[in-house]
Structures are given as C-alpha cells and as structure tokens.
Structure 1
Amino acid sequence: METREIAERFSSGQFDSVYDHLADDVEWDVIADFKVRGRSAVIEKCGQIASYFASVTTNFRTLNTIVDGSRVAINGTAKLIKDGEVVSSVSSCDVYEFNNDGRLARITSYCITDKRGE
C-alpha cells in the first residue's frame, strides 16, 4: 500500500487496514486532546475511536491530499450523525510522516469542532 493510501485510510477512520504499516515507535498527537506513543497504544486508541464511529453514521469528506516525499497531509471534514441528527461536525488536518522503511512513524492531527454545523 502506498503512503497516500495509508494516510487516506487512516484519515477516514479505516484504522484496522493500516495497522500493518505502523512503525513500532509510532506517535499520534492530536493537538490539545491526546498523545499516544508506540504501536500498541496507537492501535488501542484507534479501537476506542472506531467503537465510537460504529455507534454513529460517519460522513467523511477529503478536501485535499498533499504528498511530499515521506510526508502526506490531508484536510477534510467529518459529520457524525445519530438518529438523524448531526452530533458533531469537525474540520481536520492530519500530517503523516513515514520512516525510511515506509512505515507510518508520526501522525499530527488538528481537529476543530465546527459549531456552525457546516
């Protein structure tokens, strides 16, 4: 799987499809929310988020994907819907850094809740 596809899958919540591409010392920093280090800790956090995603309808939209060497940046939006109501609307940007082995080494995520509901 190419770095772009790994990043796109992660950004759209398809976490389990990228676990094999995580470096052992991967770091995931969601600015102002949480930071986890290590493959098992990232997988555990992904599992928690995936469980929440399974309880709502998700509508992910990728706006831009930029690939530059070993880095990929993706910005987009997500609407989380439960019982026909939007419970959360988020604009995000994820920056992915891959190591020399092509493994995902660092993820930096910026997530802003859109209180306008757009």
Structure 2
Amino acid sequence: MTTLRETAEAFSGHRFRDAYAALPPDIRWTRIGQRVVTGRQSVVDACEATLAELATTTIEFTRFVVVADDNAAAVDVIGRYVDADGTTSVVSSCDVYEFRDGMVTAITSYAVELDPATQG
C-alpha cells in the first residue's frame, strides 16, 4: 500500500502512474499561471502528455524536500532537464497536496524556470 506521502513524492517526481490510484474522480490540479485541470481522467491525460514530452529528456533532481502529514503535503523540487539535443532547463517547483479519506483531493503547483548557468 502506498502512503499519501509516497503518492506526493511520485507525482512531483514525474512518476505519475504510481500516483493515479490515489486520484479521485473529482481531483482538481491547479497549475498557477497556466490552467486548472479538473477530473481524474483530465489529470491523467495531462500527466501522460507530460510523460510523452519528457520521453527523451534526462531529469536530475538537485533538490527534493517533502513535508507531509495526514491532511496535506508539500514537495519542494529543483529539477535539471536535459533533452535529446542537449538543451538544458532548470525548474524550481513546489506542489501542495490536499488529502481526504486516503485520496489526493487537490494539487496546487507553482513553477519557475531558473537560469541553468547559475544552477551548478
């Protein structure tokens, strides 16, 4: 059995498929500055699209900090993404998870791109 903390870690680490079982039909994923995705299938579709985009990308997490309890979790991440042609981007993100009855009821994601040259 996967804990909610492990579910949050999986989702924030782009291991989305490990988190799908904990997404209820009415899940709401708010991506600040982008769009709100509502409903399990819509969230799964968004995750699968992200996985397809990242298929040829190498990801290294230089920071991965999780704080969690029975009601919520926050995952603070810095990831270095290198695509097939060598283009590098670095993203700092924080995902805030809300839990109820063993399920993830809401995710709020904040992300900002950093300058790869300053992110060793």
TM score, norm. by length of structure 1: 0.91
Residue 35 of structure 1 corresponds to which residue in structure 2?
Answer: 36
Paired AA for residue 86 in structure 2: E
Task: Determine what percentage of the aligned residue pairs are the same residue.
Answer: 32
Paired AA for residue 109 in structure 2: S
Tell me the SS of whatever aligns to 2:26: strand
Name stretches of at least 5 consecutive residues in structure 1 with no aligned partner. Answer: none
Tell me the SS of whatever aligns to 1:94: strand
Q: Number of aligned residue pairs: give it.
A: 117
Residue 55 of structure 2 corresponds to which residue in structure 1?
Answer: 54
RMSD between aligned alpha carbons? 1.5
Alignment of 1:18-97 (within 5 A): 18-83=19-84, 85-97=86-98
Name stretches of at least 5 consecutive residues in structure 2 with no aligned partner. Answer: none
Give the ranges of 4+ consecutive aligned residues of structure 1 lying more than 6 Å apart after TM superposition.
none
| Change in CA separation of 1:81 and 1:39 when aligned onto 2, cut-off 3 Å | same
TM score, norm. by length of structure 2: 0.89
Paired AA for residue 81 in structure 1: V
Using the alignment, how far apart are the partners of 1:70 and 1:108 within structure 2?
14
Using the alignment, how far apart are the partners of 1:116 and 1:80 within structure 2?
10
